[in-house]
Amino acid sequence: MRVTNKPVILASTSPRRKELLTLAGVDFTVVPSPAEEPEPDYGELPAAYAARMARLKAAPVAAAHPGAVVIGADSVVAVGGTILGKPRDAADARRMLSLLSGCTHQVVTGCAVFGLGDDPEIFTVSTDVAMTVLSEAAIAAYVATGEPLDKAGAYAIQGRAAAFITEIHGSYTNVVGLPLAEVMRHVRPLAHSTS
């Protein structure tokens, strides 16, 4: 386990990632990454894409804050090798949920930790998630709530979609957006939140 007393920066504005790091007692600040998120390359595997995106997000923040430990992350949902990012619109969200209905899929989060050594530490965590069969009416009702529209794979396990999940194999926090145990194994800050 690495131990650092450097300031910790989360290169993400995700409320879920902020909540998870706070739950772990980490004292950190948020610096949004300016990086764009390109589409996956042709044939790129989900883990490779998630790792590439995490590094892409964290790198500019780390360059601007060389004295800090910077954590970047990117989560994707994959079904049958197909990467599902955030839906473009309600119709795309319905398409994604139809693909996931009745299937076991993978949630893969890539993490990049800069500032612990000369090179960033890059790793991925994958969790298998089984979803119940969803009727068209159930999908339409869920999409109408607006919750799926900014979520990878068009669902939030910590939200209303919790009722759709029948089994999980692996890290729950990974599905929420940050594999907390694995991140904390890489960096355990001495500075903890006092709140």
pLDDT in tens, 148-162: 998 989 999 999 999
If pLDDT is split at 50, 70 and 90, which confidence band does 192 have? very low
The answer to whether the beta carbons of residues 132 and 139 sit under 8 Å apart is no
If pLDDT is split at 50, 70 and 90, which confidence band does 5 have? confident
pLDDT in tens, 104-151: 999 999 999 999 889 999 999 999 999 999 999 999 999 999 999 989
pLDDT for the residue 189: 46
Active-site residue, from 27, 74, 89, 118: 74
pLDDT for the residue 37: 83
pLDDT over threshold 50, residue 191: no
pLDDT in tens, 36-82: 888 899 889 999 999 999 999 999 999 999 999 999 999 999 998 88
Q: What is the pTM of this model?
A: 0.89
The half-sphere exposure of 57 on its side-chain side, counting CA atoms within 13 A, is 30
pLDDT for the residue 190: 42
The CB density around residue 42, as the number of other CB atoms within 10 Å, is: 5
All domains in the chain, ordered by first residue? 3-189 (3.90.950.10)
Lowest average pLDDT, out of 16-20, 67-71, 121-125, 188-192, goes to 188-192
Query: DSSP H helical segments within the chain, as ranges?
Result: 15-23, 46-64, 90-100, 136-144, 172-176, 180-186
Active site residue 74: yes
Q: Which amino acid is at 188?
A: R
Q: Which residue has the higher pLDDT, 170 or 152?
A: 170
